[in-house]
Amino acid sequence: MCGIVGVVSKKQIVSNVIEGLKKLEYRGYDSAGVATTTGDGIKNIRTIGKMKNLVKALAKTSIEGSCAIGHTRWATHGKPSLVNAHPHVSHDNIAVVHNGIIENHLALKSFLLNSGYNYQSDTDTETIAHLIHNILLSEKDLLKACIKCMKMLHGSFAMAVICDDMPDKIILAKNACPLVIGIAANEKSVASDVSALPQSIEHVIYLEDGDLAEITANSYQIYDESGQKVHREKFRPHPNSFSKGKEAYDHYMQKEIYEQPKVAQLAMSGRIENNRVTDNFISHDLKMVLKKLENIHIVACGTSYHAGLVAGYWIEKLVKVSCRIDIASEYRYRSPVVPKNALFITISQSGETADSLAALKFAKKSGYLFTLSVCNVDNSAICRESDETLLTKAGIEIGVASTKSLTSQLIVLGLLTLKLAEIKNIEPRIVKKMTKELSTISAVLSQALHQSKKVKALAESIANKDHVLFLGRGQHYPIAMEAALKFKEISYIHAEAYAAGELKHGPLALVDNNMPVITVCPNDQLLDKLISNIEEVKARGGQMYVFADKTCNSKIKNNNHIDFENCGQFISPIVFNVPFQLLAYYVGVIRGNDVDQPRNLAKSVTVE
């Protein structure tokens, strides 16, 4: 999604803004730009395509300044083009970068056109620049003008505004999109993501909805929407917020797949002792909630939704607590009925996904006992909005496609399932056995990664196909769904997932000798049923590939299969997900795709 960076300092800082924007590249974007005050009119430079184009364009100019804002744009209003790229400037005096969507921009635009403003772009952001310019004609103070402007805007926004007449300050405003201030002694910065702030910052401040702020090199002040000063807490930035780069890997996605054994250790660390989930894994308040819990609603998007689906299988099977899992954008608008004694869980890597955040806000008013989030980014909007957060501790994820996040989410949800069973005093012996099994996850993931050569060979044989089907049953059906999602977003090949038992109810019509069908085959109580489904595909000439548990080898009569060590039934979905990530990665690389920033996609989807 769009990214914002701004720096105000005593020294020249355009290159710092560029460095910050480069750190936001991973989020996906189609154009980029930077603007600075000079005291002699705003200087603005924008390019379409990747950041390297902006860097090249800048090298040909002498643009410098000590107060600058920059942006990476992911088109929402108006196609990706030079005129639509941010910053947007009004009368060489006001420059604005903006994330989000201004819903009433057409009405405001019509007023501004009637007042003589000329538009260069199709964006809603240009309206903000002209509006502030217009208000400044009578207001004279940039902060006051921004407060007035913010009151007139409907929608979601995070924005940074500079004014050449007041060249040493940046005004910030936030509503429903993330914005964070970075504080250092003689320099203040702003970004839509902590990772884009300069690493030299000493503290960060997360702005809240309705906040405005004025930052200068030596000061900062935050205001509420009526212009009253407000206090917001300062935090030390977490070292995990900053990326260490690709290291020896070719791509971030590859690095993040291979990091998973380590990520698993971090997600587990301090959370299991003597084959028991530790008491401090959850708060006393949550423990009280779990005691009387009768229902769970889990809400998330994309890969995080798939984590929720797996957790639903675990919780209902072991704890017998009813669990409903929804896609966030569906949940809010389906008039959900909140059952008795229900817990609401939001799962999100970024903690900023607009649909999940909106669902959480909706749930908070709907009568749940408690709201819990499972989240990777501490202090993100979803964490701040939830009663409690279980952090997944996966570290910053740069690849747009979620990989290590899912593994860490599943581990945390697995721990929660075990804790819930313990609190409800269900099957202590089985819970202990499952806890032991979960403790082996890091080693088992390393073993699974050892099969990468075989997965690569499979990738070579299907990389030229147009369609692929993924099958799974039971708690592995969400893994097939995740496999299809990862495959389509990285390879751009059409992929679909089916519950294997559903095949003969329609999708079998697609199967012929040109259709690869890939199934996940654990050794569980559904094995015989799955083998029948495999036979159904083979009887229609389909190209069947099986990711199988080694211990069911003798039963599967199929030439194309890759074996994995038996890992136990509880953690099996976490383990079988890994070869599917590798498959998507290798096919994407073979096809020459940008696997870290797949086309049309963005990380952290902050608009609904």
Nearer CB in complex with ligand F6R: 394/521: 394
Angle at the Cα of 115 (from 113 to 118), degrees rounded to 5? 45
Angle at the Cα of 547 (from 510 to 558), degrees rounded to 5? 70
* Alpha carbon distance 323, 313 (integer Å): 8
Nearer CB in complex with ligand F6R: 171/485: 485
Nearer CB in complex with ligand F6R: 95/401: 401
Q: Shortest approach of ligand F6R to residue 477 CB, angstroms? A: 17
Binding residues (CB under 6 A) for ligand F6R: these are 301-304, 348-350, 353, 356, 401-402, 485-486, 489, 604-605
- Taking CA atoms, 75 is separated from 83, 100, 119, 580, 601, in Å, by 12, 10, 17, 30, 11
At 15, list the tokens: 């290159």
Beta bridge partners of 44: 35
Please state whether 210 falls in left (phi above 0), alpha (psi between -120 and 50) or beta.
Answer: left
At 181, list the tokens: 């201030």
Nearer CB in complex with ligand F6R: 277/602: 602
Catalytic residue among 188, 255, 393, 603: 603
Q: Shortest approach of ligand F6R to residue 564 CB, angstroms? A: 22
Are 156 and 101 in contact, with CB atoms under 8 Å apart? yes
Active site residue 603: yes
E strands within 128-283? 155-163, 166-175, 180-184, 187-191, 203-206, 212-215, 220-223, 229-230, 272-273, 276-277
Please state whether 152 falls in left (phi above 0), alpha (psi between -120 and 50) or beta.
Answer: alpha
Catalytic residue among 2, 163, 323, 567: 2
Q: Shortest approach of ligand F6R to residue 438 CB, angstroms? A: 22
Residue type, position 350, single letter: S
Q: Shortest approach of ligand F6R to residue 375 CB, angstroms? A: 8
SS3 state of residue 370:
strand
Q: Shortest approach of ligand F6R to residue 348 CB, angstroms? A: 3
* Alpha carbon distance 266, 322 (integer Å): 29
Residue with the closest Cβ to ligand F6R? 302
Are 549 and 422 in contact, with CB atoms under 8 Å apart? no
Q: Shortest approach of ligand F6R to residue 604 CB, angstroms? A: 6
Are 465 and 510 in contact, with CB atoms under 8 Å apart? no
E strands within 231-340? 272-273, 276-277, 295-300, 322-327
* Alpha carbon distance 299, 603 (integer Å): 18
* Alpha carbon distance 319, 418 (integer Å): 9
> Cis peptide before 87, with omega less than 30 degrees from 0?
yes
Beta bridge partners of 390: 374
Phi and psi at residue 43, in whole multiples of 5°? -105, 130
DSSP letter (8 states) at residue 429: H
Nearer CB in complex with ligand F6R: 20/178: 178
Nearer CB in complex with ligand F6R: 27/105: 27
The distance between the two most distant Cα atoms of the chain, rounded to a whole number of Å, is: 82
Q: Shortest approach of ligand F6R to residue 349 CB, angstroms? A: 3
Are 74 and 27 in contact, with CB atoms under 8 Å apart? yes
Nearer CB in complex with ligand F6R: 54/583: 583
Q: Shortest approach of ligand F6R to residue 374 CB, angstroms? A: 9
Are 181 and 220 in contact, with CB atoms under 8 Å apart? yes
Q: Shortest approach of ligand F6R to residue 303 CB, angstroms? A: 3
Q: Given the structure tokens 């030229």, which residue do they identify?
A: 464
Nearer CB in complex with ligand F6R: 223/487: 487
The 3-class SS string of 182-214 reads EEECCEEEEECCHHHCCCCCCEEEECCCCCEEE
Nearer CB in complex with ligand F6R: 195/304: 304
Q: Shortest approach of ligand F6R to residue 598 CB, angstroms? A: 9
* Alpha carbon distance 568, 83 (integer Å): 56
Nearer CB in complex with ligand F6R: 119/249: 249
Which residues carry out catalysis? 2, 603
